[in-house]
């Protein structure tokens, strides 16, 4: 299947899986779906890994993000999706995923429940060339500065999720 024909899980407003549709239909019709996303922190927790999305991404191209992740496929759990996407995008395998929270992104035709997880990993990273241009570590203070700057080229739902993470989790 091509990327637009990929079957993704449909979700209801409450965050429960209710069916499946093609990715292209989800995008075109603004259907509720879900994503599994992972924030990668250094082993000591002092830094977060951020990456620049490629200009060919179908949503938010050429923007920075601190979440590795993607759309939950039909029949897949959010955690399974998060593990798959972390391995695909950043080459990270076999790490513990700590569930964080779910945040909703409902802007325009993007209606998504983002199931957020955290992993601790000091590297190495292997970027998927079709999705990631480059990556780097930011201290928590540097990340917060990027998030607070409305001019920074940061993925909108990633920004909201990271701000929620700072509100709830950063001190852990």
- Are 22 and 8 within 8 A, CB to CB? yes
Element spanning 147, H or E: helix 140-148
Q: Is 76 annotated as a binding residue?
A: no
| H or E stretch covering 143 | helix 140-148
List the one residue out of 162, 172, 139 whose CA is nearest residue 47.
139
157 class by beta-carbon count within 10 Å (0-12 exposed, 13-18 middle, 19+ buried)? buried
Q: Are 46 and 112 spatial neighbours (Cβ–Cβ below 8 Å)?
A: no
* 164 appears as a binding residue in the annotation: no
Say if residues 100 and 118 touch (Cβ distance below 8 Å): yes
Q: Binding-site residues for Mg(2+), please?
A: 85, 89
Q: Binding-site residues, please?
A: 85, 89
């Amino acid at each position: 299947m091509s990327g637009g024909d990929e079957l993704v899980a449909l979700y209801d407003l409450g965050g429960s899986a209710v069916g499946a549709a093609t990715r292209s239909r989800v995008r075109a019709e603004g259907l509720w779906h879900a994503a599994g996303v992972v924030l990668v922190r250094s082993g000591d927790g002092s830094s977060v890994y951020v990456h620049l999305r490629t200009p060919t991404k179908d949503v938010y191209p050429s923007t920075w993000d601190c979440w590795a992740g993607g759309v939950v496929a039909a029949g897949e759990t959010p955690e399974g999706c998060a593990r798959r996407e972390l391995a695909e995008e950043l080459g990270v395998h076999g790490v513990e995923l700590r569930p964080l929270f779910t945040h909703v992104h409902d802007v325009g035709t993007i209606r998504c429940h983002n199931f957020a997880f955290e992993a601790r990993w000091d590297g190495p990273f292997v970027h998927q060339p079709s999705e990631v241009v480059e990556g780097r570590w930011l201290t928590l203070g540097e990340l917060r500065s990027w998030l607070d700057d409305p001019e920074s080229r940061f993925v909108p739902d990633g920004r909201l999720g990271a701000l929620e993470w700072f509100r709830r989790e950063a001190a852990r």
